[in-house]
Amino acid sequence: MQVAIVVYPGFTALDVLGPYEVLGRLPDTEVVFVAERPGLVVNDLGSLSVDAVATYADVSEPDIVLVGGGAGQQDQMADDGPLIEWLRAVDRTTTWTTSVCTGAFVLAAAGLLTGRRATTHWAGLDMLTGFGVTPVKDRVVIDGHYATAAGVSAGIDMALILAGRIMGDEAAQTVQLIIEYAPEPPYQAGSVDTAPPSVVERAGRMLSP
């Protein structure tokens, strides 16, 4: 099984590295980081790089495609852009086409989520309607062979769900145990429903362009 994880300048690290930790531990699985051009790709915080060893042209029939979000995501959404064209092509044969956080907007811009249910980061959820997508306020949404995850850390949940569907519950649970994924956050501020209003307001300001 081949998993193609897209990286582009300004990607959010955990969007892609969380699922990488899960999917990359499944038996007989190759994970390849793909980009428009091979080489180091810098994340949105400017302090971490991922080495993309393959271009879109090098990966023509991946079993799973994953697109994360990040500050640079908007630059990838041009209708005739290389990422959009590649996604439309490989989606014809993928078992799963997936996104984490605002990566959903890239799939939507490619027309892949039109008429479907999907989720994304809470700050952009309502904007999915502009792409003909039905926004769902869930951590992970599966519609057909499309799987979308909410903000950042939700990509780990999505990857575990996919692992279970592909290789069975025990295989997924084994990976969960290996990475010791048992969240016990010190605060209950992980969603707009539980965070204090002042925190929601502050986060909104920080996320504004």
CATH of the domain at 126: 3.40.50.880
Question: Six-digit token pair at 62?
Answer: 């991946």
Q: Are 30 and 169 in contact (CB under 8 A)?
A: no
Q: Are 23 and 4 in contact (CB under 8 A)?
A: no
Q: Annotated catalytic sites, by residue?
A: 101
Q: Which residue has the tokens 């582009």?
A: 8
Q: For all residues of the chain together, what is the average pLDDT?
A: 97
**Cα(136)–Cα(164) distance, integer angstroms:** 22
Confidence (pTM): 0.97
The tens digit of pLDDT for each residue in 1-32 reads 999 999 999 999 999 999 999 999 999 999 99
Show the domain range for 126: 2-207
pLDDT for the residue 209: 75
**Cα(160)–Cα(176) distance, integer angstroms:** 7
Whether 140 has a pLDDT exceeding 80, the answer reads: yes
pLDDT for the residue 63: 98
pLDDT for the residue 9: 98
Q: Which residues contact 128 (CB under 8 A, 6 or more apart)?
A: 104, 105, 108, 113, 118, 120, 134, 135
Q: Which residue has the tokens 């078992």?
A: 95
Number of domains in the chain: 1
The tens digit of pLDDT for each residue in 149-199 reads 999 999 999 999 999 999 999 999 999 999 999 999 999 999 999 999 999
